[in-house]
Amino acid sequence: MRLKVAFIVSVLLLLVSGGSVFSSDPIVDFEILTLGVGSRPFGMGGTHTAIADDVNAVYWNPAGLGMLDRKELTGMYSQFFNYEYLAYVHPVEDIGTFGFSGYYYQYQEDLWDVAVMMSYGREINNTTSLGLTGKFLRKELRGKYAEQAIDRFGIISESTSTSTLPSFGVDVGILYKVSDEIHLAGVIQNLSAAVVISSTTVAEKPWKELPLMYKLGAAIKLFDGILTVGFDLNLPAGDEERFITIGGEYWVLDWIALRTGYNTRAGQDSGLHFGVGMGNKNIHLDWILVPFEGMKEKINRISLTLRFGRDYRYTLIESSIERHFKRGKRFYYRGEFIRAYNEFKSILELVPRHKDVSDYLARTKVRLDEYDTSKEIAGYFERGEKYFNKGDLVKSRFEFDSLLIINPEHIGTNRYLERIQKRAEELIDNQMKKAVKYYDRGDYRIAREHINKVLSFNPRHKKANKYSGLIEDKLNKVEKAKEEQKEQREGKWKAISDFYKGLALFNLGQWAESIKIFKDVLKYDPGHEGSMEYLGKAKIKAANLHYNKGFAYFKKGKYKSAIREFNYSLKYVPDNSRIKDKIKESRANIKKENKEKAEKYYTQGLGSYTQGDIEGAIKIWKLAIKLDPESETIENALKRAIEEVKIDKDIE
């Protein structure tokens, strides 16, 4: 407790002193380094060095990544000026958490910054985490800004229209947990070496440093994390004066967070900041209002964050157990033993062997035995009766169940519990009747809504489960029928459109292409008369075209080419006997030509054989037998020659 008080006093002292000491206009080459990221941190005035418990740690303190065990993706959009940010973090078991982020900022028409950062964080023990970020920055300057850059940095350039200033930097961070509630942190930002580069030439200039910044931060969580307060002390290494930020976040409900903060830095983000966050543990939308010097309007920033992954689901379960345990302890020390008992009991239903919870549950039971419960009994009974009369059966049951913890034999309570159960059964029966009625009427979607209500009350309700299956089957059939009708409607419109395309191709003499389209039309609309008519005409046209080409090859004695064209023609008119006869005739002519060639090869081979060149004769006769496989004369001569060569080799 003393530590918490000291923390709050320190924050107040820094805030009082900050207004008079820390204010100056910063002079930096890359303005994107001063803007910060994330609507949540900026809703707290830019206070995030020691908080750093989300994806925005890639910018504010990479050491915070070491304590993350969930995947997160976030994007930020800024109104009134072009500044966008996208980041993703990915934990790897036993290795650490990696982060990737990109930034784009255009603050003048011809002047903008781009940055890409890669981060890594790792928890080195239960209390300490270290982190590192590598960053690449690039400034684009055009027109007068390019000329000013050349004058200022002495860039040698053939053109003054465009200049590029790249830079490289590193951030180093540490995060230390004094306890689960109190965190301390330190970051060194923009350890760098950068060379000024023009669009054409590298100037022989020394490495130029980024604006080095030292940051110290502290954060405290109060009321089991409902309220978070933090402050950062920022110590620029250059001419800029020191400044501080202080901010807080308060969760009104489990899904709404209110934020505010104050920044003493001179310039665009000085003064009060306000922010709101809405969402659940998996998705969150954050909005902030940031003051901007010199503008009448205020700057809106909107961020969307997604959290996902199996490890994250386990983390949610663990944090839920821890939250209920803390609530139980708080109720216990307040003397609210029945509420404490309910919290501890609900935890043990999930983790029966949780030692600390078991100990507190036993202590709570002892205190309940010693506790004067007469007033408590009356209070629980009155509240239970009130909720019952209002129709809130859930709250009514909770109050009566709590009363039974004190007095299990309480007659009035048991009677009310019986009435609650009876009303619940009546409610289920009423919903079931409505579901059956709408099912019989064919209103399957409404029937499903009532069935789902029944199953939410009693997941094992046999009749509801039966009708649930029947309803889903009906809905699937309805959807399928709708899809078929939609396809038919779309098919008829497409058939009309495609028919005219096919007709145009037909008139242009592109019959093969038109045939494909007419066939597609008949798939959409099998009874389309125009497509059937022109499909037949196109087939005849295409068949005649290929037949005429084949006949021309036939007359020239190019029988293989003729057969190819005749086969194309036959595809369109498979039963045409004239085309089949021409194919047979072409094959017969090819066979005749081959026989004649084979005879010539045979005679040539005899010449080689007579001159004693038996191996030469074998080569020639092999060519001949391929052309005329049925010639016994060539076959016998080839066998005889092969046998002679074999005998000669055996003698040798």
Q: Where do you find CATH 1.25.40.10 in the chain?
A: 590-651
Question: Could you report the per-residue pLDDT of 406-457, keeping only the tens digit for each?
Answer: 777 788 888 888 888 888 888 888 889 999 999 999 999 899 988 888 887 7
Give 22's pLDDT tier (boundaries 50, 70, 90). very low
What torsion, rounded to 10 degrees, do the Cα atoms 409, 413, 419, 420 define? -110
Average pLDDT score over the chain: 81
What pLDDT is attached to residue 88?
95
Whole-number percent of the chain with pLDDT over 90: 28
Q: Where do you find CATH 2.40.160.60 in the chain?
A: 2-308
Residue 347 · residue 325 · CB < 8 Å: yes
Interatomic CA distance for residues 243 and 265, integer angstroms? 5
What pLDDT is attached to residue 650?
67
Residue 36 · residue 43 · CB < 8 Å: no
Across 65-82, average pLDDT: 84
Residue appearing with tokens 């989300």: 54
Regarding predicted confidence, which is higher, 398 or 89?
89
- For residue 47, is pLDDT > 90? yes
DSSP string, 30-46: -GGGGT---HHHHHTTS
What are the backbone dihedrals phi and psi of residue 376, each rounded to the nearest 5 degrees, phi first?
-65, -40
What pLDDT is attached to residue 279?
85
- Chain-centroid distance of CA 318 in Å reads 25
45 Rama class: left (phi>0) / alpha (psi -120 to 50) / beta: left
DSSP 63: G
Regarding predicted confidence, which is higher, 151 or 517?
517
- Chain-centroid distance of CA 529 in Å reads 49
Per mean pLDDT, which range of 33-47, 60-74, 265-279 is the poorest? Answer: 265-279
- For residue 287, is pLDDT > 80? yes
What torsion, rounded to 10 degrees, do the Cα atoms 327, 328, 332, 333 define? -30
Question: Could you report the per-residue pLDDT of 96-113, keeping only the tens digit for each?
Answer: 999 999 988 887 777 778
Regarding predicted confidence, which is higher, 111 or 72?
72
What pLDDT is attached to residue 296?
44
What pLDDT is attached to residue 193?
58
Question: Could you report the per-residue pLDDT of 521-573, keeping only the tens digit for each?
Answer: 888 788 888 889 999 999 999 999 999 999 999 999 999 999 999 999 999 99
- Chain-centroid distance of CA 303 in Å reads 16
What pLDDT is attached to residue 35?
79
Task: Decide: residue 133, CB within 10 A, 0-12 exposed, 13-18 middle, 19+ buried.
Answer: buried
Across 128-141, average pLDDT: 87
CA neighbor of 65 nearest in space, from 27, 33, 92: 92
- Report the topology of domain 319-441: 1.25.40
Q: Which CATH number is 2-308 given?
A: 2.40.160.60
- What element of type H or E holds 394? helix 393-406
Please determine, looking at this structure, whether the domain spanning 590-651 carries the CATH number 2.50.20.10: no
What pLDDT is attached to residue 8?
44
- For residue 150, is pLDDT > 60? no
Give 205's pLDDT tier (boundaries 50, 70, 90). very low
Give 151's pLDDT tier (boundaries 50, 70, 90). low
